Amino acid sequence: MTSSSYLRFPHVHGDLVTFVAEDDIWVAPLSGGRAWRVSSQQLPARNPRFTPDGKRLVWTVIVGTSPEVVTANVDGGGYRQLTYFGHSTTKVKGFTPSGNVVVTSAFQQSESRHTHAYSVPLDGGAAVELPFGPVEAVAFGPEIGDEKPVVLASVLSREPAWWKRYRGGTAGKLWIDADGNGEFERLVPEIEGNLTDPLWVKGRIAFLSDHEGYGNLYSVLPDGSGLRRHTDHEDFYVRHAGTDGDRVIFESAGELWMLPSLDADAEASKLDITLGSASPARRPAPLKVAAHLGDVAPNASGTASAVESHGTLHWLRHKDGPSRVVEATPGVRARLPRPLTGGRIAYVADHESVEALYIKRIASRLSAVVDVPDAVVPTPAPDNESDPLPKPVSASNVLGQASTAARATVPVTPPTGAGAGTPAEASADTVSATDAPPVPETAEDAADVRIEFPSPTRTSALEASPDGRWLAVGTSFGDVYVADTAQGTLSLVVSVGEGSIEQLAWSGDSQWLVWSEPVTSFGSRSKLRITRPSDAEAGIIDVTDGRFCDESPRFTPDGKFLAFLSNRSFDPVYDGHSFDLSFPSPIKPYLVALAADTPSPFGPSVDALEDGAAASVESDDGGAPSVRVDPEGLAHRVISVPVPQGNYSQLSVADGALLWLDTELSGVTGEGKGTLADKKTAPALVRYELAKRKKTTLVAAVDSYRLSGDLKRVVYILDQQVTSVPSDTKVDEESGDLVKVELNRIRVILDPVAAWGQAFEEAWRLQRDFFWTADMAGQDWDSVFKRYRPIVDRLGSHDDLVDLLWEMHGELGTSHAYVKPAAVSEPGRNGQGRLGAELHFGSKGWEITRILAGESSDPLATSPLTRPGADAKAGDVLLAIDGVELSAALTPAMQLVGAAGRTVELTLLNGEGHGGAAGAQRRVAVVPVRDEERLRYQDWVRANRRTVREASDGKFGYLHVPDMMANGWAQLHRDLDTETALDGLIVDVRRNRGGHTSQLVAELIGRKVTGWSMPRGEKPRTYPDHAPRGPVIILADEFAGSDGDIITQVSKLRGIGPVIGTRTWGGVVGIDNRFALADGTGVTQPRYATWFSGGIGWDVENRGVEPDIEVLFPPHAYAAGTDPQLEYGIGALKEMIQELPTDRPPLREGYRKVRPEPLPSRPQKG
């Protein structure tokens, strides 16, 4: 018996079961049969729970922009919203003994992963925080007299099924307070697994664990003894367990199971429940083309474009007319459309889950596809890369031979003959012409062609030659192929192992191909290479030598130059906060003279520049000029275009001009903008006239663009709008030369179930092809596909697909295998507003008990109540919002629904802090914020620093690093100068979310004082600058992960200071966020595994970094408001400073004095 639907988050009461399916809440008979829908909101819902009396349900659903707790009667009606937290972490977790809802959320925390538990009345009212600190779940035991036992589950990094067999520092732990006295201890600490979902069931504590390698249901007695396993699931994890106190219900693979008791011999049975629903989310619906807009490629004349949206391709004239479907097969993703000559188009698609190249007529008649499955590919031979200068054509760099050997999985036939290779023969570079379709006389006669790539592959670039004969293909594996569209053949040009080939271009005469080839991992350096694909004896010529990052190569229309962008400008700027230099704008455009006798367009010449610019770019026969390349000395003919260095990208060429995108230099976080409401500026499209040496802005803001084949039109995308403009002059919005392409002419019905199947298969292929090790860390990835793929047909919503992708990724047992869907919000609703303060309802109304102080250097850390004009103080009473009087029943949060970022009016009653004005009412205008996390974070840092100062008599410094990205780098530098100048330093990397700057942070905090700068009249400074003057302590915890793991491990290996706290997260296989599915959902592949010296090796992954001194942070410490790890760190630093005294500046003595002794008598007078 297999369910026909995907059922999640079950709960049971009496003879009824509730669960989530198709983004709604359902109830069904426990005995099985047809369920009925309780909600019909079609928004992601979670964790429905029957109330203890069984009459109502509570659950979370998206309200505005975040989940909130709502309730309704089981038999319909009575809908009510219970929380107004406005935070993505809000979840229902059960009930208190008194019947209030237990809700976990981080809406009042300085760390969004630290969800705390709250008691929320079922009849509405303010939430009350429970005294447990960060928790994932709370299970109250039976109260016997004064004993009120409770079990807590620690906060998880993600649920166990989404990272199977996880053993890092954040693995779920259970804590128990057996008698309710407030003191907690670990329950079953000897079980090394990921424990979660604790449940009290008739005197036993049930929980989920995967310590035996599979996710199953277990139970123990409250003292931790009597361990039992109640399920034996091996294919899929047991998930989301719930109980009514007697029975346990759970899900596995989208099916519901019931365990009648925790008796040793009890067996779980699957529930046979059907929805009998038409499922709105599964119904085919019109595609929102603009929302999923992908690539747009114009034709030769710039009058029409191929448009990609959600994996479908369409042909669309720019000004008017209908659209035409090029590819919209359900369950197939098509990408990279490229118009060809003769009314044809090329693109990549994954029919039958195999990526292949397709060439077809745009106005295609119904006909069979000619399949060319076994295009023969030559074996690339090693290339002599030791020669720093470009090499002449030789047997070592002929077409089809590469700098590294091809992957063994590519079917190849070695080239025959000696020397530079062989002509195109049946057993050499290409398939036999007799096996390929004949060259058609007209486009109408052309058959559609399919060319399958060697496996594995992932096409990253596709460019057609101007004459439509050739297609250059770049792959994410570093391959360059050339397809002959007339013969239907595919040839391997080169294969490298250092990254993706994403930039290809053809010469105007269609004879030469250029590409940018990475020479180091992560794309830090690349070189330009060219070849003649039509000449089997031609070789590969290095245009540049790979010392820099050379990108966006383009042949100029006259065939004389190769234009490109390069980061070879080295004009640094000084840092404004610390002693450092950087190269924020290192890119300039360059030209390479292809022929040795071609003069520079900017240098001395016997011909006037104007005459040269006016010369025709056509050959004698009216075609494009032939390109002549003199390989010798090519790299020395690089010419700098006389424009300032900048942040340039996407260079193109037009007649007598270069075009590129110019991105304004701005901060990474965006917090340096004029206001937080300011949008990030899109790049400008500029045109540079070579003859006039003049740069003008064609379009002020562009997301991306492409030139038409005749180079006369630019088609660009900005904010999902496609626009066509001339390439040679700027036009205004009213000009007839500006054409806004109406995408709503594209009409296609999208089958969501077929799209989910394609998305699943693509996500599986991406892991297969890009996971960091080919053996998939021991997993049988084909078996995973066979187990999971059938479930796709049962899904009821995109949210179900996301859940299934997470669980499939979890099979890797590796960090950073993420699924990142687009944020879901309620249509037409804004986010919850927050005032950056804490309020309590008292006798006078809603009194402000605390206003978060904020941080003047952090624009996201400012309370609306501290803005000029508000003049609010603790003790003031908030009487009304927007003129609506508040009460115990109508809370401020209720009145701030949808108010984030919008001006509201507050009516305040002045408290005692206003002196003589106390008791006066006044009205002020404020703008509520959407999120208080940064406000509370800066408040937490300030409190920690104050604790350190007070405990050390002002001698110790404190720095917190929240992540290893731009935000963390900014936070580190806010107080770097002040804190490193003290006698000792605590560097706190607890809660560090990772990133990529750990090597910079390690260098900074690991500096040692080796000298002093001693100016007169000023305080001495250390050399190097900001070197800690005394010993350093590192604080780490289970929430320090990824690059937070790395900074912790590096601190130990380099001896920067002892690590105090708990074992870190354990995730050091990094990602690059390169790929997204057709609907924009991001999927990451763990690609960059980290290995450490010092005997550590690979062991940080899925384990974490062990502290030098373990200091736990139990729940009762949070309840008491103490920080045992920080306190221990302060004490340890006091002890260290006795043995490693602080470096002090020297006294001004003992230095060489230059005053001479009195001049002696002349020798001759002696």
Residues catalogued as catalytic: 816, 1042, 1101
Q: Alpha-carbon distance 72 to 66, whole Å?
A: 19
| CA 87, chain centre distance (Å) | 20
Q: Which residues of 14-31 are buried (b: 16+ CB within 10 A; e: fewer)?
A: eebbbbbbbbbbbbbebe
Q: Which residues of 1098-1127 are buried (b: 16+ CB within 10 A; e: fewer)?
A: ebbbbbbbbbbeebebbbbbbbeeebbbbe
| CA 907, chain centre distance (Å) | 42
Alpha-helical regions (H) of 771-895: 781-788, 798-810, 892-895
Place of tokens 């763990």: 1086
DSSP of 386-418, one letter per residue? --SSPPPS-TTSBTT--SSPPPTTS-B-PPPSS
Residue length of the chain: 1166
Give the Cβ contact number of residue 1081 at 10 Å. Answer: 17
Characterize the bridge pairing of strands 255-259 and 323-327. Answer: unpaired
Tokens of 692: 């006039």
- Local structure of 768: helix, strand or coil: helix
Q: How far is CA 1099 from CA 160, 818, 1047, 1105, in A?
A: 20, 21, 15, 9
Q: What is the rounded radius of gyration, in angstroms, for the C-alpha atoms of the chain? A: 34
Which residues, in sequence order, are bridge partners of residue 343? none
Question: Contact 465/471 with Cβ under 8 angstroms?
Answer: yes
Give the Cβ contact number of residue 1134 at 10 Å. Answer: 15
Tokens of 696: 């003008």
Q: Which residues of 476-492 are buried (b: 16+ CB within 10 A; e: fewer)?
A: bbbbbbbbbbbbbbbbb
Tokens of 179: 């008698």
DSSP of 1045-1106, one letter per residue? HHHHHHHHHTTS--EEES------EE-----B-TTS-EE----EE--BTTTTBTTTTTT-PP
Angle between helices 998-1005 and 1043-1053 (to 10 degrees): 30
Closest CA to 477 of 461, 497, 491: 497
Tokens of 705: 């663009």
Place of tokens 């999208």: 750
Q: Alpha-carbon distance 1089 to 1069, whole Å?
A: 4
What residues have CB less than 8 Å from 842, skipping those under 6 apart?
none
Longest distance between any two alpha carbons in the chain, whole Å: 127
What phi and psi, each to the nearest 5 degrees, are found at residue 957? Answer: -100, 165
Q: What amino acid is encoded at 131 in this protein?
A: P
Question: Contact 729/712 with Cβ under 8 angstroms?
Answer: no
Place of tokens 């940064």: 934
Tokens of 559: 């065939």
Q: How far is CA 401 from CA 381, 540, 655, 733, 1126, in A?
A: 5, 8, 34, 51, 60
What residues have CB less than 8 Å from 667, skipping those under 6 apart?
673, 966
Which residues, in sequence order, are bridge partners of residue 1033? 986
